[in-house]
Amino acid sequence: MASVQKPTIPKGTRDFSPIEMLRRDYIFETIKKVFKLYDYKPIQTPSMENLSTLLGKYGEEGDKLLFKVLNSGDAFSNIEPSELENSKALSVKVCEKGLRYDLTVPFARYVVQHKNEILFPFKRYQIQPVWRADRPQKGRYREFYQCDVDVIGSKSLLNEIELLQIVDRVFEELGIPVVIKINNRKILAAIAQFIGYPDKLIDITVAIDKIEKIGYEEVCNNLKANGIDNEAIKKLHPLLNFKGDSNEKLDLVLNILSDNEIGKTGIEELSFIYNKAKEFGIKQDIEIDFSLARGLNYYTGAIFEVKAKNFSIGSICGGGRYDNLTGIFGMPDISGVGISFGADRIYDVLLATNKFDKSSIEGYNILISNMDESCLSYSMAVASKLRDNDLSCQIYPEQTKLRRQFEFADKNSIEYFIIIGEEERKGNKINIKKLSTGEQYEVPFDKIIGFFKEKF
């Protein structure tokens, strides 16, 4: 414990200061409150999963971004020098565990592992950090929280509508105006069939997914690079570029895909979800958007994405229906649907649009002076009285000059400073200074609670 180190934290990770924590807690509590209103139940899974649970679930790129945890004990005792040549194989051998990459795969693992204890339909929420060895950059971290809510074991489209209601309510409570974009993977599959490349669904959707980021021209280049010919791309053109409201879009795509069974099913689903969501009172804007694809290839039905209207930051929430996620763990044909809220981006939106309200998030703080030994018992009695009535407060721990205690109060944004000296102790009263205005109040001991309950 001798050598002095200049402390830092790993790149891409963050410390959260008190004010940041209070704001983050406000976001998590708001989201949790809405999840609970819809009777979703919390679960948590371990931070470390067996690497075999995670590998191969997020594509080749995802595998590279998994953080691997070195086996404990002597991890290298049975390693031959020749194994150093195959870094990938060696890393899997010396690391049996990895850090959670998202909440979806661990949830699928949970459902299969606990299937005998779970009653389906199973509605769960999960708020936990995930880790990705992404290159750190502004707004992208190696540790960040996801807030996921899913129903599994029910094919009813009512679940999709309920999730849209949850999205609507969360962003209403947070005061963030949003556009909820919806689409259906079946329609995308039908489009792939329609242009003559049914087996290129993934390439086409990944390319389409990028239309907002890289533009139409570049998407066409990507499609070409994936072996899709010009004629097919031309067929795609009207589907990507038409304007009009959501119902006009539905009509157009129904015309184009009228002979395609899977396409018609997708259009029916999308139309039902869109119209019922409106009927059941979703207040935020909902928009059908056929260019919405989301990269994740386990989606099979509805797909959602939410964007803030007043602040450009990419999607702040997204999700969709998956018909076979648990299949990878040996439990096929369990359909589920879920969405995930991006707490970090929501934080950025709220901060940038000045939506963190001091009174509701930071609260009002009370500091009690600590003048001398003779007043201490009385100060403690005042503190206990406040706390017994659920009012937070602190006593300045050191007996120092009042000036220094005032400084501390000022710098800590203390709202009320209670000054207790000989006079107050003998008079069985307290002296309260409201620091933001300089107002001063003399309040008898037995009126303290009434005073503050009125203020807060």
Q: Which 87-116 residues touch a copy of itself, going by CB under 8 A? A: 87, 90-91, 94-97, 99, 109-110, 112-114
* Near a copy of itself by CB under 8 A: residue from 230, 258, 310, 377: 377
Identify which range of 36-44, 204-212, 303-311, 418-426 contacts a copy of itself by CB under 8 A: 36-44
Min separation Cβ 21 and a copy of itself, Å: 4
Are residues 306 and 319 in contact, defined by beta-carbon separation less than 8 angstroms?
no
d(CA 393, CA 416): 10
DSSP string across 207-229: HHHTHHHHHHHHHHHHHHHTT--
- Beta carbons within 8 Å of 282's beta carbon, 6+ residues apart: 164, 165, 168, 180
* Near a copy of itself by CB under 8 A: residue from 218, 248, 251, 398: 398
77 is an interface residue for a copy of itself by CB under 8 A: yes
Interactions with a copy of itself, residue window 223-262 (CB under 8 A): none
Are residues 297 and 185 in contact, defined by beta-carbon separation less than 8 angstroms?
no
* Near a copy of itself by CB under 8 A: residue from 202, 313, 361, 380: 380
Amino acid 313 reads I
Q: Mask of contacts with a copy of itself, 342-371, x by CB under 8 A?
A: -----------------------xx---x-
d(CA 356, CA 351): 6
Interactions with a copy of itself, residue window 55-74 (CB under 8 A): 56-57, 64-65, 67-70, 72-74
d(CA 270, CA 378): 67
9 is an interface residue for a copy of itself by CB under 8 A: yes
Q: Mask of contacts with a copy of itself, 266-305, x by CB under 8 A?
A: -------------xxx------------------------
Min separation Cβ 23 and a copy of itself, Å: 11
How deeply is 125 buried, as exposed, middle or buried, from its count of CB atoms within 10 A (0-12, 13-18, 19+)?
buried
Pairing of the two strands 394-395 and 366-368: parallel
How deeply is 401 buried, as exposed, middle or buried, from its count of CB atoms within 10 A (0-12, 13-18, 19+)?
exposed
436 is an interface residue for a copy of itself by CB under 8 A: no
Q: Tell me whether residue 387 or residue 401 sits nearer to a copy of itself (CB atom).
A: 387
Interactions with a copy of itself, residue window 189-208 (CB under 8 A): none
Q: Tell me whether residue 232 or residue 367 sits nearer to a copy of itself (CB atom).
A: 367
Identify which range of 14-22, 190-198, 237-245, 286-294 contacts a copy of itself by CB under 8 A: 14-22
**DSSP code of 148?**
E
Are residues 143 and 14 in contact, defined by beta-carbon separation less than 8 angstroms?
yes
Interactions with a copy of itself, residue window 122-151 (CB under 8 A): 123-124, 129, 131, 133, 142-143, 151
